[in-house]
Amino acid sequence: MSNYNNYGSIAVAVSKEGGKPKEAWIRISKEVFDSKDSQDKSCPRSTFLGLCEKGIVKGIKGGVYLKNSSSNLNKRYALTAVNLLINNPTLSRKELWRQVTEELNIRIIHNSQMDVVLALWEKDMILVGK
pLDDT in tens, 15-30: 999 889 999 999 999 9
Residue 130 binned pLDDT confidence (cut-offs 50, 70, 90): low
Average pLDDT of the residues in 89-111:
95
In 3-state terms, what secondary structure has residue 126?
Answer: strand
Packed helices 6-17 and 113-122: angle between N→C axes, nearest 10 degrees: 50
Domains of the chain, by residue range, sit at 6-122
pLDDT digits (tens, 9 = 90+) for 32-90: 999 999 999 999 999 999 999 999 999 999 999 998 876 699 999 999 999 999 999 99
CA distance 78 to 23: 20
Bigger pLDDT: 117 vs 69: 117
| Predicted structure pTM score | 0.93
